[in-house]
Amino acid sequence: MIEFLFLLLPVAWGHGLFMGRNSIKQKDQNAKDSLTVKYSTGLNYLLSNQQDKAMEYLLEALKVEDDTVEAHFAMANLFRRRGELDRALKVHEYLVRQPMLSDKEKQQAVFELGRDFYSAGLYDRAEKLFLKLLKSKMYGCKSLTYLLHIFQSTKDWDKGIALEKAVLKSKDKKLKHVLANFYCELANIAILQDEYIKELELLQNALTLDPKSSRANFLMAQVFENSEQFNNACRCYQEIFYQDQEFFPDVIDKMQQCYQRSDNNDDFYPFIKKVFDKTGSTTALIKYLEYVELTSSKEKAEEYILSALNRRPTIRGFKHFVKMQLNDGNDDKTNKSLDVIKELVAAYLKIKPRYSCKNCGFNSTVHYWSCPSCHDWEQLKPVRGLEGE
Ligand SMILES: [Zn+2]
């Protein structure tokens, strides 16, 4: 009897294996049926234009597996590009909840979800997600960039500065430049509250982060001027010329006022001559003409401007030339005509933008440290060419 039972063992094992396989097949079949139902329900909703319900069913049908993760990201990006942020959000939120994603995919899902919240203007939620990614090799620097964009929009300069360690670690020049401007914003507030030591510290920090920040030196000069340290202020203005020659024409008038109150007034015009020789700036030319007229004669100044305009004509230079001709021993009729020409040219220049953004081409008649269009810092420069400098 016992031998008979031993003989039956392989049969029982074989039966068990057969039944087990059948049960797995059955389960697979059931899962497939369920997927087909969800998929076709999803399609039905899609065809009847009920897109949100369609997406719900299709997300369920398209289970997140290794080979469908990319498809989910692509679908969400497509929604975002079409401006359907709520749908992009749903897909990314769904991806974030999936336990089987790799670390890299999880970070990608969190980052993309952060971008959705950022695009939707939900900055507090975007901020939380980007902060989670600061240590990520792949998304750390990108998240930092978004965080600084958020703090720039909300004017949370201190929150941005709290990320200084991460910015320094990233070694990203652009991020350092942005953070230097956060320090300048705080310095601006300190200047309004007349906190001398704090102003200098903040601006020094800005220059350490970005030694090319002309804005930091511009504010530093203002701080020195306010405390009547005119020699130091002049040094800061000079520094701006070596940092940013394009922006320098805007500094010339302030610089002159400072030189007049410093111990080095005689150094102003030679410096401006150097600026004009190097850049051909019309503002520098007009300023230098004062010196020629003062030390030589009006005729010499007229010869100088004519020669300069022949080499590099600008409308502002021409307007100044006309102004120099007024009352130059002319009769009333000539003076009246010259005055009309001068006024016409002035009216023409008034409607022309004085500044242009180097980054996005935005034009403006007034200066902004942060471009109102692309929000990049220190990119608005005086226009060059016939209608500009
Ligand atoms: Zn711009």
Report the separation in Å between the CA atom of 367 and the middle of ligand 1, taken as the mean of its atom positions: 12
In order of 304, 322, 337, 368, the CA distances from 301 in angstroms are 5, 13, 22, 34
Tell me the β-bridge partners of 356: 363, 381
Q: Residue 211's Cα: distance from chain center in Å?
A: 18
Q: What's the CA gap between 345 and 335, in Å, rounded? A: 15
pLDDT of residue 328: 74
Report the separation in Å between the CA atom of 372 and the middle of ligand 1, taken as the mean of its atom positions: 7
Report the separation in Å between the CA atom of 24 and the middle of ligand 1, taken as the mean of its atom positions: 62
pLDDT of residue 168: 97
Report the separation in Å between the CA atom of 380 and the middle of ligand 1, taken as the mean of its atom positions: 7
Contact predicate 239/210, CB 8 Å: no
| Token output for 232 | 């130091």
Q: What's the CA gap between 247 and 378, in Å, rounded? A: 9
State the DSSP code for 249.
G
Report the separation in Å between the CA atom of 28 and the middle of ligand 1, taken as the mean of its atom positions: 57
End-to-end CA distance of the chain: 112
Contact predicate 374/362, CB 8 Å: yes
Tokens 């200098």 belong to: 200
Contact predicate 269/256, CB 8 Å: no
Report the separation in Å between the CA atom of 118 and the middle of ligand 1, taken as the mean of its atom positions: 20
| Token output for 27 | 């389960």
Contact predicate 379/359, CB 8 Å: yes
* CB proximity list for 256: less than 8 A, separation 6 or greater: 268, 287
Annotated binding site for Fe cation: 357, 360, 371, 374
**Neighbour-count burial of 184, counting CB atoms closer than 10 A to its CB (0-12 exposed, 13-18 middle, 19+ buried):** buried
Nearest to 361 by CA among 347, 342, 344, 381: 381
Tokens 């320098």 belong to: 248
Three-state secondary structure call for residue 252: helix
Contact predicate 200/184, CB 8 Å: no
State the DSSP code for 229.
-
Nearest to 44 by CA among 54, 31, 29: 54
pLDDT of residue 10: 38
Report the separation in Å between the CA atom of 149 and the middle of ligand 1, taken as the mean of its atom positions: 14
Report the separation in Å between the CA atom of 41 and the middle of ligand 1, taken as the mean of its atom positions: 48
Report the separation in Å between the CA atom of 195 and the middle of ligand 1, taken as the mean of its atom positions: 32
Three-state secondary structure call for residue 386: coil
Tokens 């990049």 belong to: 376
| Token output for 337 | 């005509």
| Type of residue at 339 | D
Annotated binding site: 357, 360, 371, 374
CA angle 334, 335, 337 (to 5 degrees): 65
Three-state secondary structure call for residue 381: strand
Residue 162: CB atoms within 10 Å: 12
| Token output for 74 | 């692509």
* CB proximity list for 305: less than 8 A, separation 6 or greater: 285, 289, 317, 320, 321, 324
Q: Where are the domains of the chain?
A: 352-389
Report the separation in Å between the CA atom of 16 and the middle of ligand 1, taken as the mean of its atom positions: 73
Which chain residues have CB less than 5 Å from ligand 1, an ion?
Answer: 357, 359-360, 362, 371, 373-374
Report the separation in Å between the CA atom of 252 and the middle of ligand 1, taken as the mean of its atom positions: 24
Report the separation in Å between the CA atom of 359 and the middle of ligand 1, taken as the mean of its atom positions: 5
pLDDT of residue 331: 83
Q: What's the CA gap between 250 and 369, in Å, rounded? A: 13
Three-state secondary structure call for residue 179: helix
pTM of the model: 0.81
Report the separation in Å between the CA atom of 356 and the middle of ligand 1, taken as the mean of its atom positions: 8
Q: What's the CA gap between 163 and 151, in Å, rounded? A: 11
pLDDT string in tens for the chain (389-residue length): 333 333 333 334 444 444 444 555 565 566 556 656 665 666 666 666 666 677 666 666 656 565 678 888 888 888 888 888 899 999 999 999 988 889 999 999 999 999 999 999 999 999 999 999 999 999 999 999 999 999 999 999 999 999 999 999 999 999 999 999 999 999 999 999 999 999 999 999 999 999 999 999 999 999 999 999 999 999 999 999 999 999 999 999 999 999 999 988 899 999 999 999 999 999 999 999 999 999 999 999 999 999 999 999 999 999 999 999 887 777 888 889 999 999 999 999 999 999 999 999 999 999 999 999 999 999 999 999 999 99
pLDDT of residue 77: 86
pLDDT of residue 68: 78
